[in-house]
Structure 1
Amino acid sequence: MNEDQIWLIDDDSITNFVNKIIIERNYSSAKIQEFLIASEALKQLQNNYAIGAELPNFIFLDINMPEMNGWEFLEAYKKLDPKITDHIKLYMLTSSQNEDDVKRADNCPVIRKFVNKPLKRDDVVEILRAS
């Protein structure tokens, strides 16, 4: 199994820490990068592409974040060159129970699935090992 690049975009460092442990325990070949600010992840995507560095295979994106929330990130993400985004599997990872968020995620073609946080072992197995 090749090493997959997984990006966690969430302003809560404790959530990122917990998710990282769950991923590492169930998917040891993962290389995980954490972003506390969504706009920094967006810039890093563009920079990595520009210099020929690796892009993530998976992104787990939180909805509720300061400065740039998950929905704002997605609007900017959709405008990126498809050469950047085409192979990335993006999952909305959130604690939101808002039905509008669920419907909005279901209607967004770049979101593979709406996943409740923190990640659970079954989520990791289903998402990462099945890909």
Structure 2
Amino acid sequence: MSIFSSCCIIDDDEFFAISGKKKLKQVDFCDNVLYYTGGQEALDGLIGLLVENITLPTIIFLDLNMPKRDGWSFLEEFEQLPEDKINHIQIYITSSFISPKLIEKAKKYRLVKDYIVKPLTENALLKIIASQETS
């Protein structure tokens, strides 16, 4: 059995999503992976799950640079959802940009747990798993 029952990848880069899913499977990270190609699609999908009274994924890997609704805009709206529905969620920013300014900005969001520079590696996933086992 995996560490997490489900996680979510929000990224317009299909290659990142496919390779990320492969890494998640290799380390037995989660049982189910939701994938959304953009921030608006993700908001609509996740809110739809809440309407159906389905628990949201514990882990969200969120890209920042996406068309229509970027990661920052997603975070702004997502953090407005009912606290009891999202307080178990940990968001990991996944970005190609290594920028102290972006990392500092990400830390201002209460659900953001860390900033991961792409690609998603086995080491990064094992670090997330280890943080769960110690908490």
Q: Do they fold alike, i.e. is TM over 0.5?
A: yes
Pairwise CA distance, 1:99: 2.2
- Over the matched positions of the two proteins, sequence identity in percent amounts to 26
Pairing of 1:9-48 with structure 2 (within 5 A):
9-27=10-28, 29-48=30-49
> Structure 1: how far apart are the matches of 2:18 and 2:44?
22
Q: Note the residue ranges of structure 1 that are not aligned, 5 or more in a row.
A: none
Question: Judging changes above 3 Å, is the alpha-carbon distance between structure 1 residues 99 and 129 closer, same or farther for their aligned structure 2 residues?
Answer: closer
What stretches of structure 1 move > 4 A for 4+ residues in a row?
none
One-letter identity of the residue aligned with 1:57 = T
Q: Deviations over 1:67-119 (max 9, x none)?
A: 00000000001111112211111111111122211110122222000111111
One-letter identity of the residue aligned with 2:63 = D
Whether the aligned pair in 1 keeps the contact of 2:91 and 2:111 (CA below 8 Å) is yes
Q: TM-score, normalised by structure 1?
A: 0.92
One-letter identity of the residue aligned with 1:41 = A
Tell me the residue number matched to 1:55. Answer: 56
Q: TM-score, normalised by structure 2?
A: 0.89
Matched residue SS, 1:130: helix
Whether the aligned pair in 2 keeps the contact of 1:27 and 1:128 (CA below 8 Å) is no
> Structure 2: how far apart are the matches of 1:61 and 1:49?
19
Name the count of aligned residue pairs: 131
> Structure 2: how far apart are the matches of 1:77 and 1:115?
20
Question: Judging changes above 3 Å, is the alpha-carbon distance between structure 1 residues 106 and 28 closer, same or farther for their aligned structure 2 residues?
Answer: closer
Question: Judging changes above 3 Å, is the alpha-carbon distance between structure 1 residues 53 and 108 closer, same or farther for their aligned structure 2 residues?
Answer: closer
Pairwise CA distance, 1:29: 4.2
* Root-mean-square deviation over aligned CA pairs: 1.5
Tell me the residue number matched to 1:121. Answer: 122
Q: Note the residue ranges of structure 2 that are not aligned, 5 or more in a row.
A: none
Whether the aligned pair in 2 keeps the contact of 1:90 and 1:110 (CA below 8 Å) is yes
Pairwise CA distance, 1:12: 0.5
> Structure 2: how far apart are the matches of 1:74 and 1:25?
28
Whether the aligned pair in 1 keeps the contact of 2:6 and 2:30 (CA below 8 Å) is no
* 4-13 vs 40-49, greater mean Cα deviation: 40-49
Pairwise CA distance, 1:64: 0.6
Whether the aligned pair in 2 keeps the contact of 1:19 and 1:119 (CA below 8 Å) is yes
Whether the aligned pair in 2 keeps the contact of 1:6 and 1:31 (CA below 8 Å) is yes
